[in-house]
Amino acid sequence: MDTLRIYDELCKGVEECGICIYVCKEEVFRPSETLNQKGYRPPVIVNEDLCTQCENCMIFCPDLAVVVSEKKRKKGSK
């Protein structure tokens, strides 16, 4: 299972928002080359391996457009 998922269609763009990139300490994201259907530029995951699953991107995202897999669940405790 993936660690991260971005719902491209929910995103309102890194130019005006960009909170996910700002709150990620590990530089997991960068702006996408392409726009979504609404004309916004979502982030893309470039360094998934660096993700510490701190969930900042998910918790801060105003559009519920990022999800991070739960640490515990990954360890199989849940």
* Cα dist from 1 to 4, 36, 48, 72, 75, whole Å: 9, 24, 12, 13, 12
Binding stretches for another protein (CB under 8 A): 1-5, 7, 9-10, 12-13, 15-19, 22, 40, 58-64, 66-67, 69
CB of 7 to another protein, least distance (A): 7
Nearer to another protein, 4 or 28 (CB): 4
Nearer to another protein, 1 or 77 (CB): 1
